[in-house]
């Protein structure tokens, strides 16, 4: 039997959602647990899994809004047909049913005030519907929420003419002005009706979901824009993930950063020697290898917090932040402490190429227990990297520079680098963090120790 | 799982029996509970099993019965004291309100008062105005007391076990008209956490909060209304103090309608408190005023005919729910 796939209800207050994208095409097979679509509610954009197995048959369109519980697809067994009447009504494009005009006496204001239940007022506000146009069916003509959800804009609803010369409600004009939306481009809910607030909101949502761009959607709804933006960028996809993870990191951990200089003459010399015999590792490889060896000596830095406990992790996997055009990605060198420098270099160059080519496997991105982030190429010496949850520390690497230093009472010029270690003070204190960083410095000053 | 059925009265007795077996500090005291086994047979055979020292027949003095319980509880025992009718709590109010509920507070939180007061509430057996009252709102008004009111045999055993194990004073109210009602009751001891409501019937159109005997009548009303297309969600709070308002509010936010049902008189009843809390937490989700279905402001009549009119029944509950969800303007 065909299994119905309905718009899920993902929270108590969720009433509807927009289908942003079908991730599995119409007519394709699906396995139970597969992610089949992305939806956007008034709160979040999220992926939705399916629990049935078979062939997916779409009945709902991308870009349309559907109420929770509406059938939006079927999962069919081999050889099975789609059940008969299967086209759901998206909310924004509800077919207009002709209804007998109801006696407007039922909206007679009680004591000179429009009688509407608190819930009706809330629902009307959310949808940008003016209660004055809604006929109440509750006791005494009270407008209840069902009257609002069943309400359709009647053709003769008085509408306001605005600058664009488009018939629109005052709420719609207000929102369009706020967002800099041209009302002429907004499709009204009803072909002959005025543009409503919800139609403007729908128009903006649709446009945002088709552009590759990001600003916090919440800000759009809650915070007035300072200016008419030249462009809106969605906080979605990679940008959204970075935003969420970095914010959570700073919110949930007690982070602080120390800096320490390392003498790089030995590393520079080691590289020169290796260049003669073959491919030399990059400087970054030395930092990853040094950090991995230091993590082995300081297990507390290779840990994560679980509930009210610190879990010390036996395996050392070092993530390497790689900048991309529109974000960053952190491929992982697994068991970095066990790799000799040359094999570590081969692995990081494979990962970096795959990252820039978008060809990383999920396993290449999972399980980092520590990360290294380099900004030296931009001339940065010290900075405050943000810990990549659930790790407890991250190493920032600055530029390698010539420093004038005192050596045994004489003045000399040395290659030096500043390391910036950010750590979670909940897990380790300043002294052990400094000792850990010291071990990285010592490994760099003695590259034969990292093979 | 065993599908053994047990009556409300025997589920109560089994909870007490098992607690006494498990813990020598548990004992029972009350009027006619020993040799006679209690006027509703809720203590049948306990004295024979555990002896006169642990199943104590007391004189007719409620103040003394509760006082004995308070003293024993602070001395380290785990007493169960029985007041034959809920109406008699009025005689023991000083011990209940000023001693049992206050001692922990008065002595810096140090003493434990693991006292369980059991009693019998509700009308419907023509026991007249002094033996039929529903005075739970008075008890719920006293900080320091926990009050439970099971609606079925399964909840009875679990809640009574939880009351006996609780280190603060609890009042277990049994409904006289439910003693014979049976449900499946597991033989092994179990407890139901205090302060956790149960959705006994899920629904989408209206949230109905009912406890004690009113749960049965509300379920019957819900069956009638389902045939009319009204789907009731029925919540049995099970514990009246502390009250699980979160479960109720979560439901009301979904259904947008609420009706509270109780057998106690309407004025100052628990329905008033529940309605007030719902509007505090879910005002913007209400489509109608919160309905209250309760007894009229009058003593419980002795006349069986009048008593039947006095206590809310399934038909009255159904009417109250219809009024809460009504849309008389629909279809005009």
**How confident is the model over A106-153, as pLDDT tens digits?**
344 445 578 899 999 988 888 888 888 888 888 888 899 988 888 765
Looking up tokens 């062939």, which residue turns up? A55
Interval B65-84 mean pLDDT: 98
Judging contacts by C-beta atoms under 8 Å, the chain A residues touching residue B255 are none
pLDDT at position A364 is 86
pLDDT at position A101 is 37
ipTM above 0.85, yes or no: no
Judging contacts by C-beta atoms under 8 Å, the chain A residues touching residue B254 are 12
Task: Mutate one of B319, B324, B329 to test the A interface: name it (highest A CB count within 10 A).
Answer: B329
Per-residue pLDDT for A160 more than 50?
no
Of A75-89, A275-289, B168-182, where does mean pLDDT reach its minimum?
Answer: A75-89
What percentage of residues in chain B have a pLDDT greater than 90? 97
Per-residue pLDDT for B116 more than 70?
yes
Judging contacts by C-beta atoms under 8 Å, the chain A residues touching residue B326 are 138-139
Specify the 3-state DSSP secondary structure of A246.
helix
Specify the 3-state DSSP secondary structure of A349.
helix
B131 carries an active-site annotation: yes
Q: Which of B10, B14, B31, B62 is catalytic?
A: B62
Specify the 3-state DSSP secondary structure of B283.
helix
Interval A327-345 mean pLDDT: 90
Cβ-defined contact of B286 to A118 (cutoff 8 Å): yes
Per-residue pLDDT for A278 more than 60?
yes
Task: Reduce the secondary structure of B44-93 to three states and give it as a string.
Answer: CCHHHHHCCCCEEECCCCHHHHHHHHHHHHHCCCEEEEEECCHHHHHCCH
B233 carries an active-site annotation: no
pLDDT at position A85 is 53
Looking up tokens 């000792």, which residue turns up? A435
Nearest to B254 among A12, A120, A122 (CB): A12
Phi, psi of A133 (to 5 degrees): -95, 5
Instruction: Classify residue A377 by its DSSP letter.
Output: G
- How distant is the Cα of B254 from the closest Cα of chain A, in angstroms? 7
Interval B313-326 mean pLDDT: 96
Interval A287-304 mean pLDDT: 96
Interval A22-51 mean pLDDT: 83
Q: What average pLDDT is seen over chain A?
A: 82
pLDDT at position A219 is 42
pLDDT at position B86 is 97
Confidence of residue B271 (pLDDT cuts 50, 70, 90): very high
- Which of the given ranges, A77-81, A253-257, A321-325, B124-128, has the highest pLDDT on average? A253-257
C-alpha to C-alpha distance for A434 and B33, rounded to whole angstroms: 73
Q: A6-45 b/e with 16+ CB inside 10 Å = b?
A: ebbbeeeebbbbbbbebebeeeeebeeebebbbbbbbeeb
Signed CA dihedral, A137, B246, A6, A16: sign only: positive
Structure tokens at A37: 């679509």
DSSP A379-445: T-----PPP-TT-SEEEEE---EEEEEEETTEEEEEEEEEEEEEEETTT--HHHHHHHHHHHHHHHH
In terms of pTM, does the model score above 0.90?
Answer: no
Q: Which residue of B has its CA nearest to A9?
A: B254
What percentage of residues in chain B have a pLDDT greater than 70? 99
């Amino acid at each position: 039997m065909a299994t119905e796939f309905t718009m899920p209800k993902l929270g108590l207050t969720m009433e509807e959602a927009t289908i942003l994208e079908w991730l599995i095409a119409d007519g394709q097979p699906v396995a139970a647990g597969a992610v089949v679509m992305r939806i956007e509610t008034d709160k979040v954009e999220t992926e939705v899994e399916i629990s049935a197995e078979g062939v997916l048959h779409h009945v709902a369109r991308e870009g349309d809004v559907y109420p929770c519980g509406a059938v939006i697809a079927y999962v069919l067994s081999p050889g099975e047909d789609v059940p008969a009447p299967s086209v759901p009504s998206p909310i924004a494009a509800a077919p207009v049913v002709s209804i007998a005009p109801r006696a407007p006496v039922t909206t007679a204001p009680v004591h000179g005030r429009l009688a509407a239940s608190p819930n009706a007022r809330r629902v009307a506000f959310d949808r940008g519907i003016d209660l004055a146009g809604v006929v109440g069916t509750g006791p005494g003509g009270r407008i209840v929420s069902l009257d609002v959800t069943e309400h359709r804009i009647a053709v003769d609803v008085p509408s306001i003419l605005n600058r664009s010369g488009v018939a629109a409600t005052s709420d719609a004009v207000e929102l369009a002005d706020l967002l800099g939306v041209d009302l002429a481009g907004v499709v009204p809910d009803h072909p002959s009706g005025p543009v409503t607030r919800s139609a403007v909101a729908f128009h903006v949502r649709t446009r945002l979901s088709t552009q590759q761009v990001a600003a916090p959607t919440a800000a759009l709804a809650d915070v007035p824009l300072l200016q008419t933006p030249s462009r809106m960028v969605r906080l979605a996809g990679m940008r959204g993930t970075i935003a969420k993870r970095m914010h959570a990191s700073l919110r949930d951990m007690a982070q602080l950063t120390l800096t320490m200089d390392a003498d790089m003459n030995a590393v520079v010399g080691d590289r020169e020697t290796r260049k003669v015999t073959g491919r030399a590792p990059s400087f970054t490889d030395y930092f990853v290898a040094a950090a991995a060896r230091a993590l082995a000596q300081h297990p507390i830095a290779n840990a994560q917090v679980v509930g009210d406990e610190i879990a010390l992790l036996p395996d050392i996997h070092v993530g390497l932040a790689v900048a991309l055009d529109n974000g960053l990605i952190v491929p992982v060198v697994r068991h970095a402490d066990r790799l000799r420098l040359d094999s570590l270099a081969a692995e990081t160059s494979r990962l970096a190429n795959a990252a820039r080519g978008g060809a990383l496997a999920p396993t290449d991105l999972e399980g980092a227990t520590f990360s290294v982030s380099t900004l030296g190429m931009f001339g940065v010496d010290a900075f405050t990297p943000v810990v990549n949850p659930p790790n407890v520390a991250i190493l920032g690497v600055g530029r390698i520079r010539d420093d004038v230093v005192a050596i045994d009472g004489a003045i000399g010029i040395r290659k030096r680098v500043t390391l910036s270690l950010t750590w979670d003070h909940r897990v380790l204190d300043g002294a052990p963090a400094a000792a850990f960083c010291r071990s990285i410095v010592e490994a760099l000053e003695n590259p034969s120790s990292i093979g | 799982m065993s599908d053994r059925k047990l009556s409300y009265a025997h589920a109560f007795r089994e909870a007490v029996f098992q607690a006494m077996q498990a813990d020598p500090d548990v004992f029972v005291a009350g009027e006619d509970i020993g040799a006679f086994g209690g006027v509703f047979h809720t203590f049948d055979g306990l004295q024979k099993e555990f002896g006169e020292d642990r199943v104590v027949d007391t004189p007719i003095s409620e103040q003394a019965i509760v006082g004995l319980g308070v003293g024993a509880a602070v001395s380290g025992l785990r007493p169960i004291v029985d007041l034959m009718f809920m109406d008699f709590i009025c005689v023991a109010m000083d011990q209940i309100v000023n001693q049992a509920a206050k001692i922990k507070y008065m002595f810096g939180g140090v003493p434990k008062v693991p006292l369980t007061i059991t009693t019998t509430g509700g009308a419907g057996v023509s026991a007249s105005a002094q033996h039929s009252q529903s005075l739970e709102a008075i008890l719920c008004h006293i900080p320091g007391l926990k009050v439970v009111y099971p609606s079925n045999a399964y909840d009875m055993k679990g809640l009574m076990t939880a009351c006996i194990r609780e280190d603060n004073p609890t009042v277990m109210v049994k409904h006289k008209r439910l003693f014979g009602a049976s449900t499946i009751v597991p033989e092994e001891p179990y407890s139901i956490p205090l302060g956790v409501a149960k959705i006994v019937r899920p629904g989408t159109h209206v949230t109905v909060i009912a406890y004690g005997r009113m749960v049965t009548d509300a379920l019957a009303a819900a069956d009638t209304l389902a045939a009319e297309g009204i789907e009731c969600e029925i919540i049995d709070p099970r514990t009246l103090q502390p009250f699980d308002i979160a479960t109720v509010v979560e439901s009301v936010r979904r259904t947008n309608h609420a009706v509270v049902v109780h057998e106690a008189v309407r004025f100052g009843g628990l329905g008033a408190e529940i309605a007030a809390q719902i509007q505090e937490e879910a005002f913007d989700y209400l489509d109608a005023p919160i309905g209250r279905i309760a007894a009229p402001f009058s003593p419980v009549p002795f006349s069986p005919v009048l008593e039947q009119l006095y206590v809310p029944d399934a038909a009255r509950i159904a009417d109250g729910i219809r009024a809460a969800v009504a849309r008389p303007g629909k279809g005009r």
